[in-house]
Amino acid sequence: MTRKERYEAFVTYFEENQPEAETELNYSNPFELLVAVVLSAQCTDVRINKVTPKLFEDFPTAEHLASTHFDELFPYIKSVSYPNNKTKHLIGLGKMLVEDFNSEIPASKDELQKLPGVGRKTANVVTSVVWNQPSMAVDTHVFRVSKRLGLVNQNASTPLAVEKQLVKHLSEDVIPKAHHWLILHGRYVCQARKPKCEECNLIHFCRYFEKKEKISR
């Protein structure tokens, strides 16, 4: 199967079976999404969704984050990964949003990455989810699943390399959804240690499954 055929099979399957894929983080506005994504680095969405309701209730705007201090904010997020750094990031993020962006969430990936705690992946998530821009955020699930399916080369050794290949071969209108398709498939089916190939409907074009079948023969 050619690379083009793999992409066509991938898009066709998910367009038919999961056309409305979206983030599992709970949020009600761009500010909340940005905060949730910053917190979600190396942490599960389930954990973040347990933490954010009270956080968003007491710190609903950038101004609230900008005016708080470490000891006040830390207890709200102490159960997430790297809470010390993330507490500092959120306070700095709030201050920069107020001082440099008139408390508005920038729609540019370059400007988003100026904010404390915001890297390329976070900027891609926010621009994709909020503004439906053709941004492909590559987390561990996207990285693993895209390589297993054969959508990207096995020698694509960095998230940026994987991102560039996916963006090259997917149409712009599909990219925002494809990000979620890959994440959710990796989260629930194509898991890292024990992929559920017996439950997967993509094995007919999956390079990982093809190799596994050959080895077992």
List the catalytic residues: 121, 139
Answer for the pair 176, 182: CB distance below 8 angstroms, yes or no.
Answer: no
Answer for the pair 137, 119: CB distance below 8 angstroms, yes or no.
Answer: no
Per-residue tokens: 210? 């093809």
Per-residue tokens: 146? 């895209």
Among the listed residues 19, 23, 26, the one whose alpha carbon sits nearest the alpha carbon of residue 125: 23
Residue 78: CA atoms inside 13 Å, Cβ hemisphere, count?
7
CA pair distance 27, 24, nearest whole angstrom: 9
Residue that the structure tokens 């559920």 belong to = 196
What's the DSSP call for residue 69?
-
